[in-house]
Structure 1
Amino acid sequence: MGEHAGADGADIVGRATELGTLGQFLASAAAGTAGTLVVSGDAGVGKTALVQHACNAPGPAAWIFAGACLPLASMTVPFLALRSAFRAAPRFEGDARPMLPKAGEPPNDVPVAIDIWLEELCQRRPVVMVIDDLQWADQSTLDVLMYLIAGPPKRRLAIIATLRTGEVAEDHPLQRWLADIRRLPRIDWLGLEPLDRLDTEAQVTHLLGAPPHQSLLQEIFAHTAGNAYLNQLVVAGLEPAARHLPVELPADLKGAVLRSWRSLSAASQRLTQLMAVGGRPLRPEDLGAVARPDGRPEDILALLHEAADAGIVECSQEGSHWWFHHPLIAEVLEQRLDAEVRMRWHGAFAAHGENRLDDQEAPDFESLAALADHHFTSGHTADAYRWALRASAAAGHAGGAAEMLRLLQRAVALRRSLPDAAESEQELWSRLRAAAEETGSMEEELEAVEALLAGTDVSARPLDAAELLVRRAHLRFSTGRSFLDIGEMRDAVRLADVEPQSWQYALALAELAHVELWNDEAGAESHAAQALNVARTAGHPRALSYALTASAMSALVRGSGREGRAFAAEAISAAAQAREFWALVHATMWLGNSTETWASQAFADLMRAGRQQLGRLGAPHVYIAKMAASEAESYLAVGLWRECRQALRVALGSDPGTMGDVAARLTAARLAAWQGRLGEAEAHLARAEELYAQNSAFLNLDFDAIRSEVCLAVGRPEAAYTAAMSGATGEGLSPTMCEWLVPVAARSLADLIQLAKDAGRPTVELTTLTDELVQRFPATLRDMGEATELYTLQLAALDLMYAAEVGRARDRAGNAQDWIRAADACHEATLRWEEAYCCWRAAESLLLHGHTQRGLAVSFLRRGLALAEELQAGPIRDHLRELAARARITVVLPVAGEPAAPHAALPGLTPREREILEYVIAGRTYAEIAASLVISEKTVSSHISNLLRKTGTSNRLDLSRLATRPAAS
């Protein structure tokens, strides 16, 4: 997920790389190497906020002088930006601060005087001079900057200038200045691009106070193209639960978009409004034919160049078409037109489009789609319908499935007003369903499937109805409407039974077995076997994939992982052959379940391989997102939280659909809870619960376990206990993360008992609940399938955690040993978060029962702290530090470079890797190492990855243990 940080009101999202570049630049200047950095980008992209945040970040104490150039039209103030910047300069004895001349006075030796003064300041402390909006700088300011940039290379001076792209015409004086400084040494350039979709979501989440709906996010990103300032304007006044933007854009947004447009001549304004109605990049001759049929093309070009100089429009690289610099400009300009003018102009474009098509043998689908859109907006129903169908067919041939879907949706809507249309509604719904399936638009496909089912004569076409019932169940499941319904699958089998050798019968039987397995029904295994026999006979890869996956599930329930893996691997091949992506995801999940517990790196790697296969096959993002979310969930379980975040970025990098969105949000909620971002954790969980109705019924998801963990994190142990017990006592197979439910329930009770004791309230009822919990669940819940070595270790670790939590609830003496055993077992089971938690409880218990084991308590404090730092598990880290302070235990780790215990010989390390190893042993975070060595966190991460690979260790804690083990005598 995108990270958010604020400084002086600046919202910084998704700029880690750029902040690293700025940090290194400032550190280099502070160390005595003068330099200049020009930060460029579109208006509103976040240049000023980025520079402010970097300058206010922790680092060497420096004087920061910041001034802004202004777009003054009626007067010129020499040295304007420098005047405002130098107001923050310190005054001291012998200060040689130069006097800046007023307007009309000769500048004399101002550049030299400023240079001498800054030289004196730089000897006292590093100086950072920030000049904002360089495109409006007066010539005096530019002259001073040129002189300073060409100044001595060895001084502690950093000059940062921000520059708007698209506002400096070719003949602007600044162009010459920029060309001149490019030839000077120590000049760096940093281009700032708009935010991507995921970072846009992070910013909008911060602005709204909750994660946005994907439909809202999609509209925001389509409008703003990731411009941070426009994001802020477009969401102004929106409720967090909004699903769509209002039709009318906010006034402030319109004003910001139109600021430069208002400076154009009336003719250029009119032409650009006409271009906005055109709706796509246009050739000047086409624009001229609509605007002024009898006008000269060069007149149109002159007006376009005027708009280009103002940053409103731009020409394509091949030089043939013109369009707006930002997509929002077109929308705002068209909204300014009254309805009558807009319709008339759309009609003119429609007429011109039809005239052009008469001259083309095979018109491209973009021209056809534009023609359909113009007719539609002009109110020409019959023409809009006719051209929508023709354009949708052309889009399908050109591989434009998204456009095909959009146009077919319009055709379906228009068909209701055209009773004499040649195409039946069922035919159109069938086309729409295919397009929706191709694009992964599950909501639209579900609507089409529902319409097709409603219009199907079941007695005449039972096989079609059976297939539609199965697909509807998948789509309802994927969009969060309901878990797979056993009654619907029995109806599908009954319908398809008219042809018991058909692929539809095999498909219906397979999905009946699938649902029966989730409901622990006795007939599941025989139905799976029967489905596989029929599917093999029919030779239909789609049905075969589902039948093989049902057989894999059946084998796993019997405890035969080996047989399950064989079935699942064959199912993946069949699904890929059929390009049945729902089946491919389904089969890949069960290959993982048959191979290793989901809480493992091996499972995560299988999910990543499945995601990559989907990518190679060109699958819609909704399926890739679901695989990436499962990958993230597994990485998180074993403490690889950075890999988890990267997988979440893949999942949410485009619209993930409901299925991927929910899975990703649940994992994001768990990660945020463990790392102490409690508001974020609650917001992600709330959005996931909103998206999936009856969420506890979705046994393949970990709603109850994650809900209970989030409730514990935010201090609601009673709600955590209720959630855990809901998952533990539900019907059917145990849900995902069922192994965590009973330990979390015990932890909730232990927390409630502690709270009651602290408040002086009785604990009898809570103690009775604890006894009943142990009586009902002597051990943690077990998931179905073969018990691998790792899964056995994890069960043992969670059993020990359960026993330790029960001991804490009962205030049992000697509970420390329970926690010690649990911590060591969690380490063996690669449950890093749980290991850190157990270390905290072990140290706490040791210290609560006297000081006879103080040395052991210190050991677990330090072990837990080191692991909490690696995981960035803020709450556990804070608990351990508080515990250490109360017990007067020093847990400050040695500073890198100080004498340390002899390290084990680790051959093959580079000098830089050995240097970083010292910091790892000292327990330093990535950020601390990066700041100390003046490198980026990404570079630190790369070096640590190399250290882990070379030493065969799995995390920083293991690396530190290996490096500090006693040398062999």
Structure 2
Amino acid sequence: MAEPLEAIGPDFVGRAKELGAIGAFLDRAAAGAAGALVVYGDAGVGKTALVQRACNSGGSEAWIFAGACLPLASMTVPFLALRSAFRGAPRIDGVAHPSLRTSGGAPHDVPVMIDRWLEELCLIRPVVLVIDDLQWADQSTLDVLMYLIAGPADRRLAVVATMRRGEVGEGHPLQRWLADIRRLPRILWIMLGPLDRLDTESQLTNLLGTPPHRSLVHEIFTHTAGNAYLNDLLVAGLQPDTRHLPAQLPSDLKAAILRSWRGLTPATRELTQIMAVGGRPIRAQDLAAVAPDAAMPGGVLAMLREAADTGTVDVSPAGTYWFHHPLIAEALEQGLSTDERQRWHAAFAAHYEHQLAGELTPDFESMVAVADHHHHAGHTDDAYRWALRAAASAGAVGGVTEMLRLLRRAVELRGSLPAADENRQDLWSRLRIAAEKTGSHEEELEAVEALLAGIDVATGPLDASELLVRRTHLLFSTGRAFMATKDMREAVRLAATEPTSWQYALALAELAHAGLWHKDPDAQSHADHALAVARAAGNPRALSYALSANAMAAVFAGRTGEALDFATEALAAAVQARDYWAFVHAALWQGNAQETWTSELYANLLRAGRQKLAELGAPHGYIAKLAADEAGSYLAIGRWRECQQALRIALGSDPGTMGDVGARLTAARLASWQGRHPEAQAHLARAEELYAQKSEFLNLDFDAIRAEVYVAAGNPEVAYDAAMTGATSAGTPPTMCEWLVPLAARALADRIQLARDAGKPTAVLMALVDRLVQRFPAAIPDFSGRTEVYERQITAFNLLYAAEVGRARLSAGNGLEWGRAADACQTASLLWEAAYACWRAAESLLLRGHTQRGPAAAYLRLGVALAGDLQAGPIQALLIELAGRARIPITEPVGGTPQAARQELPGLTTREREILAYVIAGRTYGEIARGLVISEKTVSSHISNLLRKTGAANRLDLSRLATRRPADS
């Protein structure tokens, strides 16, 4: 076991690729291929933590010696990092420990002495030498490292160093050393970049103890650009429910980011503060024009070069200068007084406005800069005028995000400018369009509400109708309301003044959409009428919604072939209209028309839809919605790695409310199954906070996932209430409705078991079981088409339900019930539930006595294999603990020879006998398929034949028949 470095903090996240590369490097060194590794990157990016994690997680028996260089200013301590590294080195008999005296100098042959000592250690165990912050290393240390790196290639030695990229400029003593080792063989370089948005959120979750608000993640990631150390400083002292950062940066953060800046000359510090007010990269001549009095005799260019040499600023290939990290600019600007900031903003505004005055085609970025500087200088009239001008320019070059920001400002400033020419409705309309293009649903909803408040319905009924439809979409997307029919009826009434208009078709389509969710008997006729009007009007937007409404109606009616045609045409129309809400809607119904959402086919369809949205350049919120749904589908069938990948895409940028809620619900479910219960409950709580309504959102699975999370966490009372809330909700059954009744029964069975264990009465709880079965004789089926996959799944849910009821009632044949449920769940690709059912089957069978040990062992082994693949730690631990108590070995190698049948069953083919042996050994379908080099579908077909030929009820019964002794016959 490697001797661990100092433990790293709980905020280490991600870095799988880099950890893999370092791990492989250490493994090669441990095997006798010496080498050196340099990990470099910005200060605070996580270099030290990465190396610590890689060394601590290594599987070798290496000695790890770690030391750090220090930024000493007035003195030099030779071999400082090496003294620290070797301080705790072992004393080996017959091996001379190197002498690095702190006084009287050190022997001149120190590199040779250390090399010889490490050579002898490497013969005993591998050695890893870690030197942190190489940019501060003294020359003596560098000489030793050079000697070691250039040493023999066949010893078990790894030299690892970390280095700050921004502090090794031209003329730095380390530059020549780096140039020399680059010419040596066996050198690995890893440039460590910042964390991405998802890893930043994971780090913040660790630091805060709960998933942070989306708004806080966005603000922190914008400020720190993913720097792990700055994330830590910025979040220090914040409450877990904080939504926004405070106006002022924390003092510790300012001290950290301004360390290099404080070493500049006073004149350069003053100049860079002025540059910070500029807010964007700038040429030296422009900065000199803005601040002519700030230049020292050497000129602005010399000062900027000084700042660049310390890593405070970077110079671009185009010759512009800007700060190495955006937080430096923010901290410097905050260091100025309000009057100073306004004075310099006014100077920048005047400079850029003067530059633009003579241009026939004004530069877009300069126009934005003028608008911003006038605003920050307090020039209301000029800020308003330039905001509108820059917004128009932004729209022309595709800068919709900037256009939205500037129009937002113009709307705010318009209230204090009564003499402005622009109409308020026109400004709100422009803002709405910009918000729609960027996918900013909150901003768009505000604009739509303002437009509805100011519209004259008598003169603009079609516009009002379209706004009502869009408001319904936005209320849905932001979690405020679920497809209310009242507004849709009003939209239809308004648009009916022109019954051939596309607005009338759109309103009818969405009335049908809402009506289908609420079981309106007129929904089909509304959908038919909408489609006829939309086709006649020739509007692709209205056509897409009308086609989707008809696809939805056809799915509800079981006409899946017709539904698929409608949905496929709806997708094409949505692409033509560039309506991404319509695209998402059509993509989901295209999936529903072909297969249940708990299937690989459905997940793959959503993946294809998500990729198409990315090709179209859709806002990320729509991509995130499909990615979150894709993740949920993969998770349901046990493909948790694909689930994680889809979640990473969904949360890789701001997912919007829709995508965020869907992703958090799926993340809660995954965390719950894998045993991370606090994380699961935190994700669930954040999802519930984001959506004003929970159970009312029928296309989301709040109740089922809440029940699943709480029953797994040992709170069956809350789980039962959640399951029953979903099961008894009015209207169309919600997503995951099939889970609700089995989960309610599981929660009751858990409560009854707890009561029995405590010696308490169970009559009241048993009465609840009876009422549950009376009210729900079977699991609640979904409204979608009954495909072969879905039929297998609803069968599995019914068997789970019966087994949970049997567990509550202590049924004599409960072990057989659980066995049937386990087999059905595996056949239906409900692998999480299959692993759970295997545990319950084995538990019940072992309680029945010794004669059931064979079948129980089969389910134990099957369950452990399933749980291992799923990384379902809690279920796997329960299975292993049960096997240990029963003294049943479960460690048969997967690739080993399966157990043979004790009794030859008549009428079986050679292949069926081979598969039977695997069944007896408790192998999963996947293991059987891999062992025999056939498909899982073929395995399923053979097992069906085995059950038919033997008359066995399930795999458990089949295993019992095959393994019984002749005397048992």
Distance in 2, Cα, partners of 1:948 & 1:165: 51
CA contact (8 A) 2:100 2:106 kept: no
Distance in 2, Cα, partners of 1:86 & 1:360: 66
Give the 3 Å change call, closer, same or farther, for CA 960–530 of structure 1 in structure 2.
closer
Q: CA deviation at 1:922?
A: 12
Distance in 2, Cα, partners of 1:953 & 1:811: 35
Q: Deviations over 1:856-877 (max 9, x none)?
A: 1111101100110000011110
Q: Secondary structure at the match of 2:778?
A: coil
Q: Secondary structure at the match of 2:128?
A: strand
Matches within 5 A, 1:243-642: 243-292=243-292, 299-318=299-318, 320-642=319-641
Distance in 1, Cα, partners of 2:739 & 2:489: 34
Distance in 1, Cα, partners of 2:858 & 2:922: 14
Give the 3 Å change call, closer, same or farther, for CA 825–900 of structure 1 in structure 2.
closer
Identity of aligned residues (%): 67
Where does residue 221 of structure 1 map in the other structure? Answer: 221
Q: Deviations over 1:60-83 (max 9, x none)?
A: 222111100000000000000000
Distance in 1, Cα, partners of 2:937 & 2:27: 32
Matches within 5 A, 1:172-211: 172-211=172-211
Distance in 2, Cα, partners of 1:109 & 1:924: 63
Q: Deviations over 1:271-329 (max 9, x none)?
A: 111111000010111011011179699611111111011111011123x2111111111
Where does residue 769 of structure 1 map in the other structure? Answer: 768
Where does residue 696 of structure 2 map in the other structure? Answer: 697
Distance in 2, Cα, partners of 1:948 & 1:365: 64
Q: CA deviation at 1:952?
A: 4.0
Distance in 1, Cα, partners of 2:208 & 2:939: 37
CA contact (8 A) 1:948 1:955 kept: no
CA contact (8 A) 1:401 1:439 kept: yes
Give the 3 Å change call, closer, same or farther, for CA 949–504 of structure 1 in structure 2.
farther
CA contact (8 A) 1:372 1:384 kept: yes
Q: CA deviation at 1:957?
A: 13
Q: Secondary structure at the match of 1:595?
A: coil
Q: Deviations over 1:4-38 (max 9, x none)?
A: x9944363211111111111111111112211111
Is 1:124 paired with 2:117?
no
Give the 3 Å change call, closer, same or farther, for CA 959–584 of structure 1 in structure 2.
farther
Distance in 1, Cα, partners of 2:421 & 2:696: 45
Q: Secondary structure at the match of 1:346?
A: helix
**Higher RCO by CA contacts (8 Å cutoff, separation 6 or greater):** 1
Give the 3 Å change call, closer, same or farther, for CA 886–106 of structure 1 in structure 2.
closer
Distance in 2, Cα, partners of 1:22 & 1:504: 60
Q: Secondary structure at the match of 1:695?
A: coil
CA contact (8 A) 2:827 2:940 kept: no
Gaps of 5+ in 1: 903-920, 926-942
Q: Secondary structure at the match of 2:12?
A: strand
Q: Deviations over 1:202-229 (max 9, x none)?
A: 0001111111111110100000000000
CA contact (8 A) 1:953 1:959 kept: no
Give the 3 Å change call, closer, same or farther, for CA 317–511 of structure 1 in structure 2.
same
Q: CA deviation at 1:460?
A: 1.4
Question: How big is the alpha-carbon RMSD for the aligned residues of Structure 1 and Structure 2?
Answer: 2.5
Give the 3 Å change call, closer, same or farther, for CA 6–893 of structure 1 in structure 2.
farther
Give the 3 Å change call, closer, same or farther, for CA 513–322 of structure 1 in structure 2.
same
Q: Secondary structure at the match of 2:194?
A: coil
Amino acid at match of 2:358: D
Where does residue 802 of structure 1 map in the other structure? Answer: 801
Distance in 2, Cα, partners of 1:955 & 1:447: 56
Where does residue 138 of structure 2 map in the other structure? Answer: 138
Q: Secondary structure at the match of 1:53?
A: helix
Distance in 2, Cα, partners of 1:954 & 1:287: 70
Gaps of 5+ in 2: 901-919, 945-957, 960-969
Q: CA deviation at 1:484?
A: 1.2
Amino acid at match of 1:492: A
Q: Deviations over 1:602-633 (max 9, x none)?
A: 00011011111111111100000000001000
Q: Deviations over 1:445-489 (max 9, x none)?
A: 000000000000111111111111110010011001111111111
Amino acid at match of 2:452: L
Distance in 1, Cα, partners of 2:75 & 2:599: 67
Distance in 2, Cα, partners of 1:12 & 1:922: 41
CA contact (8 A) 2:356 2:363 kept: no
Q: CA deviation at 1:895?
A: 9.0
Give the 3 Å change call, closer, same or farther, for CA 69–681 of structure 1 in structure 2.
same
Distance in 2, Cα, partners of 1:551 & 1:361: 52
Give the 3 Å change call, closer, same or farther, for CA 757–412 of structure 1 in structure 2.
same
CA contact (8 A) 2:267 2:294 kept: no
Q: Secondary structure at the match of 1:11?
A: coil
Amino acid at match of 2:839: W
Q: Deviations over 1:887-928 (max 9, x none)?
A: 1222223398x88889xxxxxxxxxxxxxxxxxx99999xxx
CA contact (8 A) 2:207 2:232 kept: yes
Q: Secondary structure at the match of 1:73?
A: coil
Give the 3 Å change call, closer, same or farther, for CA 611–922 of structure 1 in structure 2.
farther
Q: CA deviation at 1:823?
A: 1.1
Q: CA deviation at 1:958?
A: 13
Q: CA deviation at 1:761?
A: 0.6
Give the 3 Å change call, closer, same or farther, for CA 294–810 of structure 1 in structure 2.
closer
CA contact (8 A) 1:626 1:656 kept: yes
Distance in 2, Cα, partners of 1:864 & 1:283: 66
Q: CA deviation at 1:154?
A: 1.4
Q: Deviations over 1:610-666 (max 9, x none)?
A: 111111111100000000001000000111100000000000000000000000100
TM-score (norm 2): 0.92
Q: Secondary structure at the match of 2:163?
A: strand
Q: Deviations over 1:177-221 (max 9, x none)?
A: 011111111111111110000100100011111111111101000
Distance in 2, Cα, partners of 1:826 & 1:300: 72
Q: Secondary structure at the match of 1:697?
A: coil
CA contact (8 A) 2:510 2:549 kept: yes
Amino acid at match of 2:360: E
Amino acid at match of 1:412: V
Q: Secondary structure at the match of 2:333?
A: helix
CA contact (8 A) 1:641 1:871 kept: yes
Where does residue 949 of structure 2 map in the other structure? Answer: none
Where does residue 938 of structure 1 map in the other structure? Answer: none
Distance in 1, Cα, partners of 2:932 & 2:576: 37
Is 1:707 paired with 2:706?
yes
CA contact (8 A) 1:749 1:766 kept: yes
Distance in 2, Cα, partners of 1:924 & 1:128: 42
Give the 3 Å change call, closer, same or farther, for CA 222–508 of structure 1 in structure 2.
same
Q: Secondary structure at the match of 2:850?
A: coil
Distance in 2, Cα, partners of 1:924 & 1:183: 54
CA contact (8 A) 1:77 1:103 kept: no
Distance in 2, Cα, partners of 1:630 & 1:949: 34
Distance in 2, Cα, partners of 1:366 & 1:171: 36
Q: CA deviation at 1:947?
A: 7.5
Distance in 2, Cα, partners of 1:829 & 1:6: 47
CA contact (8 A) 1:718 1:752 kept: yes
